[in-house]
Amino acid sequence: MVLIFIDHADGHIKKASFEALTYGAALAKQLGTNAEGLLCGTVADDLALLGKYGITKVNQVNNEALNNLDSLVYGKTIADAVTALGAKVLVFSHNQTGRAVAPVVAAKLKAGLVTGAIALPDTSNGFVVKKSVFSGKAYANVNITSDIKIISLNPNSYKTVAGEGTAEVSQLNIAIDSLKVKLTAVNKVSGEVPLTEADIVVSGGRGLKGPENWGIIEDLAHVLHAATACSRPVADSNWRPHHEHVGQTGEQIAPNLYIAIGISGAIQHLAGVNRSKHIVVINKDPEAPFFKAADYGIVGDAFEVVPKLTEEIRKLHNS
Amino acid sequence: MKILVCISKTPDTTSKIAFKNNNTKFEEAGVQWIINPYDEWYALVRAIELKEKDAGTVIHLVTVGGADTEPIIRKAFALGGDEAIRINATSDDSFYVASQIAEIAKQGGYDLIFTGKETIDYNSSSIGGMIAGLLDIPFISLATKFDITGTTTTVTREIEGGEEIAEVSLPVVVSCAKGVAEQRIPNMRGIMAARTKPLKVVEPAAIEPLTHVTSYELPPAKAGVKLVAADNVAELVRLLHEEAKAI
Ligand SMILES: Cc1cc2nc3c(=O)[nH]c(=O)nc-3n(C[C@H](O)[C@H](O)[C@H](O)COP(=O)(O)OP(=O)(O)OC[C@H]3O[C@@H](n4cnc5c(N)ncnc54)[C@H](O)[C@@H]3O)c2cc1C
Ligand SMILES: Nc1ncnc2c1ncn2[C@@H]1O[C@H](COP(=O)(O)O)[C@@H](O)[C@H]1O
């Protein structure tokens, strides 16, 4: 059986988990077995509806203590669930929760782990998972040889498919350890689309000259329901919050559309965004290296081009 | 307090990425090696800052790697750190590497183990969590702030769309991301001192790797950029809508 970890926050299942469920169900089909979900904690969403992603059953460890993440307790709980259910493959999303938990589970189960998977494994000769390496500049094919195998899927690299069907919801009785990590505060930037989950990202660089000019970036992001990001010097100068910094040393993202405005396209910046499906570059310098990595581009002044772009998109939405 | 900092070696961020031997090995010719930026800028520097506040703190560095990782250890020593342990083995399996470090950690009785958020070549983000799992101690991933009062640590970690602040008692494993410390450059005194700091080499424990890389691939080349004139923004919107179907 293929077991998919279902991640949630604020009572709702995260979008990245729909991708993981779709992926896990496709993998189960490839292996001639069934796929089930595993949810730790409680949510407001109707779990039976997750059947539409191709899973037959959702196993829930119904314990409110698990609504807070303590990696070690989570890791042990999931490892116990894998053992109790006899799962052979475990799928995570390689998001913040996946990074916090999957390696703990792998250690507990002595299971081979491949993180950052971008495609279904090749099971014709072994169990070979393609993962992103060198910060998106290459892929490695990695064979997992242990009995139990763990994969964590890069967000935005497998398309969610929703069909028909409902899943059976079943309670799983697992005794959990007391939490050692005590959560004292959660600060969420309200109203913004989280960067790592966003379909579209609008990003600004030093070409915007200063934080007072970010209105044009925010307006464009707003009409596109996009998240905002920035280059490292922009975050380092405190023009924008640090969590918006993308690149080699910042967040690595792979949205469907990445719009880079006033960013030169240094190799370290590209390392965080080059897995984006479509890249648009707006830069006044035709020689900017970013154009080599772009699908579409405009050579022009951001302060003239971006407001026009926002306007044209508004028109498109209204038409 | 005893701190263990996990140090790995990665190609310089501007290195050309290419493969040899039928795409099974990374082409190392011409590559400059650096300390993995997360390990250097954040994990190691935070450990040094803690030592500056509490002189009784001891910092050990650990790396799993061949003799070719020693220049990296010396570079780390130039920033700070008291002793280093090199486990004489190379592996691309995270479980193997984490198990080796866990063995060292068991013997050393560390209060705090720091890793980087991820290596910029293998991008696994796995070693820290695995060490914690193997030692059965708490793990905080993707820390952006780390403080300690007595034996209680206060850690801020990244979550989707924000951050979480949590408290946890020592011992703990923490993976460090941007924000944990301010990047530093070594000074002359540090560079001189680095030469004589003790670097111990130990042989690896017998551990069976659970994964191995069979081959590498480069992504398909981009078709080339389609340029749209700056006075024709509507055309860009049309292309994004009709051709890319991205908006
Ligand atoms: C080890 C290491 C790690 C790094 N990690 C990262 C990382 O994670 N992320 C990252 O981003 N960087 C990183 N960097 C820094 C990186 O090398 C670049 O310095 C940085 O990305 C440049 O940011 P920028 O493009 O915003 O600024 P600049 O390089 O200054 O580029 C500004 C661009 O704006 C254009 N411009 C100016 N005015 C306008 C206008 N009016 N309209 C349109 N365009 C205009 C210019 O033509 C230029 O191309 C790293 C560097 C190192 C050494
Ligand atoms: N060979 C190694 N030796 C010592 N520490 C390592 C090694 N590989 C990775 N690490 C540590 O684990 C972190 C995460 O690495 P990874 O899980 O490979 O992305 C790195 O930032 C290092 O701190």
Q: Which residues contact A317 (CB under 8 A, 6 or more apart)?
A: A223
Measure the CA–CA gap between A131 and B214, rounded to whole angstroms.
12
All residues of chain B having their beta carbon less than 8 Å from the beta carbon of residue A294 are 222, 225
pLDDT at residue B95 is higher than 80:
yes
C-alpha distance from A158 to closest chain B C-alpha (Å): 16
Provide long-range contacts, Cβ within 8 A and 24+ apart, for B203-206: B203/B87, B203/B88, B203/B89, B204/B64, B204/B87, B204/B88, B204/B89, B204/B100, B205/B99, B205/B100, B205/B103
Mean pLDDT, chain B, whole residue set = 96
Measure the CA–CA gap between A93 and A43, rounded to whole angstroms.
18
List the domain range (segments joined by +) for residue B117.
2-219
Token pair for B53: 């506040």
Determine, yes or no, domain membership for B239.
no
Q: Which residues contact A158 (CB under 8 A, 6 or more apart)?
A: A19, A20, A22, A23, A118, A119
Interface A-B, measured as beta-carbon pairs within 8 A, has a size of: 287
| pLDDT at residue B160, as a whole number | 85
Measure the CA–CA gap between A234 and A211, rounded to whole angstroms.
8
| pLDDT at residue A114, as a whole number | 98
**CB of A164 closer than 8 Å to CB of A53:** no
Encode A222-248: b = buried (16+ Cβ within 10 Å), e = exposed. Answer: ebbebbbbbbbebbeeebbebbbbbbb
Measure the CA–CA gap between B240 and B247, rounded to whole angstroms.
6
In this prediction, residue B151 has a pLDDT band, given cuts at 50, 70 and 90, of very high
Determine, yes or no, domain membership for B235.
no
Determine, yes or no, domain membership for B113.
yes
**CB of A207 closer than 8 Å to CB of A304:** no
What is the Å distance from ligand 1's center to A270 Cα? 10
| Residue among A253, A268, A279, A308 whose CB has most ligand 1 atoms within 8 A, to mutate | A268
| pLDDT at residue A194, as a whole number | 84
What is the Å distance from ligand 2's center to B87 Cα? 13
Measure the CA–CA gap between B130 and A246, rounded to whole angstroms.
26
The residue in chain B having the minimum alpha-carbon distance to the alpha carbon of residue A256 is B246
Domains within chain A, CATH numbers bracketed:
2-171 (3.40.50.620), 195-318 (3.40.50.1220)
Bridge partner residues of A258 (DSSP): A201, A279
Token pair for B124: 């696994």
Token pair for A294: 């772009």
Q: Which residue puts its alpha carbon closest to atom 7 of ligand 2?
A: B8
| pLDDT at residue B36, as a whole number | 97
| pLDDT at residue B221, as a whole number | 83
Instruction: Determine if residue A255 is left, alpha or beta; phi over 0 gives left, psi from -120 to 50 gives alpha, anything else beta.
Output: beta
Sign of CA dihedral B28, A128, A92, A61: negative
In this prediction, residue B22 has a pLDDT band, given cuts at 50, 70 and 90, of very high
Quote the DSSP letter at residue A246. B
Determine, yes or no, domain membership for B240.
no
Does residue A271 belong to the interface with chain B, where contact is any CB pair within 8 Å? yes
Q: Tell me the pLDDT tens digit for each residue of B29-68.
A: 999 999 999 999 999 999 999 999 999 999 999 999 999 9
> Measured from the CB, is residue B115 less than 6 Å from ligand 2?
yes
Residue from A71, A80, A55, A69 nearest A4 by CA: A55
Q: Which residue puts its alpha carbon closest to atom 14 of ligand 2?
A: B118
Of A102, A141, A312, the CB nearest to B237: A312
What is the Å distance from ligand 1's center to B12 Cα? 18
Determine, yes or no, domain membership for B38.
yes
* Sheet of strand A149-153: strand arrangement: A168-171, A57-61, A35-40, A2-6, A89-93, A149-153, A112-117, A128-133, A138-144, B211-217
Q: Which residues contact B131 (CB under 8 A, 6 or more apart)?
A: A107, B6, B98, B101, B102, B105, B113, B115, B139, B173
Peptide bond preceding B171 in cis form (omega within 30 of 0): yes
All residues of chain A having their beta carbon less than 8 Å from the beta carbon of residue B37 are 248-249
Place of tokens 């609008």: A202
Measure the CA–CA gap between A3 and A36, rounded to whole angstroms.
5
Q: Tell me the pLDDT tens digit for each residue of B201-243.
A: 999 999 999 999 999 999 888 889 999 999 999 999 999 999 9
Distances (CA, A) of A282 to A232, A273, A294, A298, B34: 18, 15, 10, 5, 33
Minimum-distance ligand 2 atom for the alpha carbon of B38: 21
Task: Give me the CATH number covering residue B144.
Answer: 3.40.50.620
ipTM, 2 dp: 0.95
C-alpha distance from A137 to closest chain B C-alpha (Å): 7
pLDDT values of chain A reduced to their tens digit, one per residue, 319 residues: 999 999 999 999 999 999 999 999 999 999 999 999 999 999 999 999 999 999 999 999 999 999 999 999 999 999 999 999 999 999 999 999 999 999 999 999 999 999 999 999 999 999 999 999 998 899 999 999 999 999 999 998 899 999 999 999 999 999 999 999 999 999 987 667 888 889 999 999 999 999 999 999 999 999 999 999 999 999 999 999 988 999 998 889 999 999 999 999 999 999 999 999 999 999 999 999 999 999 999 999 999 999 999 999 999 999 8
Bridge partner residues of A117 (DSSP): A131, A153
What angle do the packed helices B94-108 and B127-135 form, to 10 degrees?
Answer: 50
Contact B137 A72 (CB under 8 A): yes
Measure the CA–CA gap between B116 and B37, rounded to whole angstroms.
8
Determine, yes or no, domain membership for B14.
yes
3 state DSSP class of A31: helix
Determine, yes or no, domain membership for B238.
no
> Measured from the CB, is residue B69 less than 6 Å from ligand 2?
no
| Tally of domains within chain B | 1
Distances (CA, A) of B137 to A76, A196, A267, B61, B148: 11, 28, 37, 19, 17
Instruction: Name the pairing type of β-strands A12-13 and A35-40.
Output: unpaired
Measure the CA–CA gap between A2 and A87, rounded to whole angstroms.
6
Place of tokens 């081979």: A112
